[in-house]
Structure 1
Amino acid sequence: MTYGVKVPISGFPEWLPSQRMIEQYVLDKIRSTFELYGFAPLETRAVESIDTLLSKGETSKEVYLLRRLQEDENSTKEDQLGLHFDLTVPFARFVTENHGKLQFPFRRYQIQKVWRGERPQEGRYREFLQADIDVVNRDTLPFHFDTEMPLVIGDAFRSLPIPKAVIQVNNRKVCEGFYRGLGLEDTAQVLRTVDKLDKIGPEKVAALLVETAGATDAQARLCLKLAEISTSDASFVDHVKALKVDDPLLDEGLDELRQVVEAANEHAPGLIRAELKIARGLDYYTGTVYETQLEGYERFGSICSGGRYENLASVGNTRFPGVGISIGVSRMLGLLFGRDALTVSRSVPTAVVIALPSEDERANCERIAAGLRRRGVPTEVAPTAAKFGKQIQFADRRGIPFVWFPGADGHSVKDIRSGEQVDADPQTWMPPADDLRPQIKGL
């Protein structure tokens, strides 16, 4: 079968090799940070039952169904499977199925593809890679895990050559308690409406609050006043108190949010910002919620989000509350690739090419290459015994810094960037550390 040039399928990114190397570098940094905090790796299946996927919020329009081309006429709705749209729902299912084998609190990280039927646009895809961390416990989860999440993500982002990341944090108890203190009963509807603030603006949000949540104009104005509060320290507490709305749940949420902000400021000043308009769309969040923006890319929204959930997983009368946060790896990289904000020093891992004097010498050249590889030097042998000038051009076009010249009386290696050529022993030679692996750089 032959394939001609076809239009790419929208929303399913395929990175070039150089971009894929950047992605792998980013994943390695994220993974190592997660493991430094004691999170264990996990991978769940790509599919879940439709009932599982649709039980956790308003996601039915986003779910991709999985079925055979020749559908079984006896199949029922209970047999239907869908591709997971996030990693939290399958993680919760995994916990309920394996709780007898797990040690709690259970800390896991998960780096996998997910699928979501959204309209593709810059930085938003239908198939994308997420990197999640979650902590779950049996019955109750101490609040200090909520304060830990931003610290892990902050360390992961600081290990990468990307713009500064600011984690915006809120607590749904603050919002729900405030709305309850105002006398608004349908707090879930108010949350969903306020969550649209950045998309439709305050005037339309106020009108929707009156229309869909039964708010008066005065109540809608106070909801917007709360959403305007934004501080980099714990002063948000005083700003909320100044609105003179009282409710025990509001007080509890303010105290929890203060703990998150103060812990982050002690760990990394400037990492976090209390942003009281943040609500998060998914219905399973019950307390702390996080969203993260990159400086210079704010108009594209969050590239890392999550929160606390009390009721996502349960077995009988036993609940497994948790808190988690997810990095949208493909989303973040897509935005940075679109601005050429990440570069790699060469398009292949190879650090040195063994020049081939003639095809008769190929076996000897392969032995030299094998010796270098055993010592961790990425090496390949030139594809043909062309003139040495063309073999140097072959290396240069791919960004490979060194060419190795074998000889009966000794070997030499040439740095084709500077033109310097020196004698080299295949048993001991190593490239400079910065040339051993491709270097990833940001703007």
Structure 2
Amino acid sequence: MARPTPLSGFPEFSPAERIAEQRVLDTLRATFESWGFASLQTRAVEPMGQLLRKGEIDKEVYVLRRLHADPDEEQDPDRTLGLHFDLTVPFARYVLENSGKLQFPFKRYQIQSVWRGERPQEGRYREFTQADIDVVGDGELPFHADVEVAQVMAEAMGRLPLPPLRMQVNNRKLIEGFYLGLGAADAAAVMRAVDKIDKLPADAVRALLVAEAGLDGDQADLCLRLATISGTDASFAGEVRALGVEHPLLDEGLEELVRVVEAVAPLATDRFTAVADLRIARGLDYYTGTVFETRMAGFESLGSICSGGRYDSLASDGAKTYPGVGISLGVTRTLAPLFARGRIAVSRSVPTVVVVALADEGSRPACQAVAAQLRARGTAVEVSPNAAKFGKQIRYADRRGIPFVWFPQDDGTHQVKDIRSGEQVPADPSTWVPPAEDLLPSVVAG
């Protein structure tokens, strides 16, 4: 059999990398649940008609079919199945399908794999894990849900073992109201042009505003000035007012953005900051208010790793509309480049804290009994795979980063050795526990 080759776009993580990934996922789960978000898992597939109803990424959907599928089935979008490309579409379907059973506002988090058939590159994969939180209302959703979603993700990101993260927040009402107050005939065209400000020089964006959005030079300049405004506190609002543009929608959006920024500011850490950034618009048309994008220091080329916003029509059954607000962290998008560049360090590649040493194979049952006593109090333990010389058994532990080796003694007593310091002390398997900092592998950003 020929040697297998890697499959592009489908990352596989080593045991050490999986430890780091699981630490991130555990942190996310714990934070989400501490705010009352319930876990949800939806199916991996949806009817193609559901997946393609907006037509944005029809070329990226993976079709699921049997090897000997019925040709008629393949032509029917309601019978043909595709793997979901995000968690929002299946969530919207779930809300509609189960609305009679749900208590609103419905707060859920969802951590699952998704699939997209796009060209693989750093930060973009064909299979990857996302972590989403959303709050959905029945007919209406108070604005404090926007604030809460921002606070939850800010708290979670501040706890992650990642390079510093910067959440950029804006409000579609603010920028649309500003454009309307300027007299723009097509606010959406202005928004699309300004959304390219990170990809094009300011002069090129100005030219687009004039040629494609129909603005004059003064109007275009004001739009560019608005896009330069940012701040970590409410002072940015004064800079917006100083531009002299007025519109009721601008007032509403400005007030909402101030509320989000002021609520998130106290959660700033050395790993996380939030800033009002009036360049941010998000390209998708369904956002109607608050919008989020997040960049990771040193990895700005990845673009946003955590995005979302307010959408007042998450789903509709014709009689009712379910507005929502949500934000999604691309877990694989964030971690895979860090792994590739050695930017995350893990103290050990296995969960094991203690290796019980074997004097000879005949002592294995007794050593297994010792290991069971230690495991009973939550310590990860393994018995040495063989009865080699103790020096080799210690090296076995050291190569894996396992900090302790346990030595049963001939007289029935026990000793435990910290192989990092060399200290070896008496220990009782019925009471001994490792230091709290050694119980789990440590994960730090390099």
Q: Where does residue 64 of structure 2 map in the other structure? A: 66
Letter in 1 for 2:323: P
- Say whether the 8 Å CA contact 2:16–2:349 is kept in structure 1: yes
Q: Where does residue 195 of structure 1 map in the other structure? A: 195
1:414 to 413, 417, 421: 417
Question: 2:13 matched to 1:15?
Answer: yes
Change (3 A) 1:183 1:52: farther
Structure 1 position 107, deviation (Å): 0.6
Quote the Cα distance in structure 2 between the aligned partners of 1:402 and 1:326: 39
Quote the Cα distance in structure 2 between the aligned partners of 1:102 and 1:392: 55
Which shows bigger deviation, 30-39 or 81-90?
81-90
Q: Where does residue 122 of structure 1 map in the other structure? A: 122
SS at match of 1:353: strand
SS at match of 1:130: strand
Question: 2:426 matched to 1:423?
Answer: yes
Quote the Cα distance in structure 2 between the aligned partners of 1:421 and 1:124: 48
Structure 1 position 316, deviation (Å): 2.6
1:117-156 equivalences in 2 (<5 Å): 117-156=117-156
Change (3 A) 1:69 1:210: farther
Letter in 2 for 1:202: A
Q: Where does residue 52 of structure 2 map in the other structure? A: 54
Deviations 1:286-306 (A, max 9, x none): 111011122333343211111
- Say whether the 8 Å CA contact 1:56–1:312 is kept in structure 2: no
Quote the Cα distance in structure 1 between the aligned partners of 2:49 and 2:191: 25
Quote the Cα distance in structure 2 between the aligned partners of 1:264 and 1:402: 42
- Say whether the 8 Å CA contact 1:33–1:155 is kept in structure 2: yes
Letter in 2 for 1:58: E
1:185-264 equivalences in 2 (<5 Å): 185-264=185-264
Quote the Cα distance in structure 1 between the aligned partners of 2:58 and 2:184: 27
Change (3 A) 1:67 1:191: farther
Structure 1 position 206, deviation (Å): 2.9
Structure 1 position 208, deviation (Å): 3.1
- Figure out how many residues of one structure are paired with residues of the other and give that number: 441
Quote the Cα distance in structure 1 between the aligned partners of 2:334 and 2:431: 40
SS at match of 1:100: coil
Letter in 2 for 1:322: G
- Say whether the 8 Å CA contact 2:47–2:77 is kept in structure 1: no
Letter in 2 for 1:315: D
Quote the Cα distance in structure 1 between the aligned partners of 2:314 and 2:52: 12
Change (3 A) 1:266 1:356: closer
Q: Where does residue 86 of structure 2 map in the other structure? A: 86
Which shows bigger deviation, 85-94 or 59-68?
59-68
Change (3 A) 1:61 1:205: farther
Change (3 A) 1:311 1:185: farther
SS at match of 2:71: coil
- Say whether the 8 Å CA contact 1:56–1:283 is kept in structure 2: no
Identity of aligned residues (%): 61
Deviations 1:162-210 (A, max 9, x none): 2332211111111222222333333333323322221233233333334
Question: 2:434 matched to 1:434?
Answer: no
Question: 2:43 matched to 1:45?
Answer: yes
TM-score by length of 1: 0.93
Deviations 1:316-375 (A, max 9, x none): 321110111111111221233244232111111111111122222222221221221112
SS at match of 1:101: coil
Quote the Cα distance in structure 2 between the aligned partners of 1:114 and 1:19: 19
Question: 2:388 matched to 1:386?
Answer: yes
- Say whether the 8 Å CA contact 2:311–2:324 is kept in structure 1: yes
Show structure 1 runs of 5+ residues with no match: none
Letter in 1 for 2:418: D
Which shows bigger deviation, 272-281 or 427-436?
427-436
SS at match of 1:85: coil
Quote the Cα distance in structure 2 between the aligned partners of 1:79 and 1:53: 12
- Say whether the 8 Å CA contact 2:155–2:267 is kept in structure 1: no
- Say whether the 8 Å CA contact 1:154–1:165 is kept in structure 2: no
Which shows bigger deviation, 415-424 or 376-385?
415-424
SS at match of 1:61: coil
Quote the Cα distance in structure 1 between the aligned partners of 2:432 and 2:442: 20
Quote the Cα distance in structure 2 between the aligned partners of 1:158 and 1:80: 42
SS at match of 2:314: coil
SS at match of 1:321: strand
Q: Where does residue 32 of structure 1 map in the other structure? A: 30
SS at match of 1:292: strand
Structure 1 position 266, deviation (Å): 4.6
Structure 1 position 3, deviation (Å): 5.7
Letter in 2 for 1:335: P
Q: Where does residue 366 of structure 1 map in the other structure? A: 368
Show structure 2 runs of 5+ residues with no match: none
- Say whether the 8 Å CA contact 1:125–1:331 is kept in structure 2: yes
Letter in 2 for 1:48: E
Change (3 A) 1:218 1:62: farther
Structure 1 position 57, deviation (Å): 6.1
Quote the Cα distance in structure 2 between the aligned partners of 1:229 and 1:365: 65
| Superposition RMSD in Å | 2.0
- Say whether the 8 Å CA contact 1:112–1:131 is kept in structure 2: yes
Quote the Cα distance in structure 1 between the aligned partners of 2:93 and 2:202: 38
Quote the Cα distance in structure 2 between the aligned partners of 1:288 and 1:57: 24
Quote the Cα distance in structure 1 between the aligned partners of 2:160 and 2:227: 31
Quote the Cα distance in structure 2 between the aligned partners of 1:360 and 1:3: 42
Change (3 A) 1:142 1:47: same
Quote the Cα distance in structure 2 between the aligned partners of 1:408 and 1:357: 9
Change (3 A) 1:5 1:274: same
TM-score by length of 2: 0.93
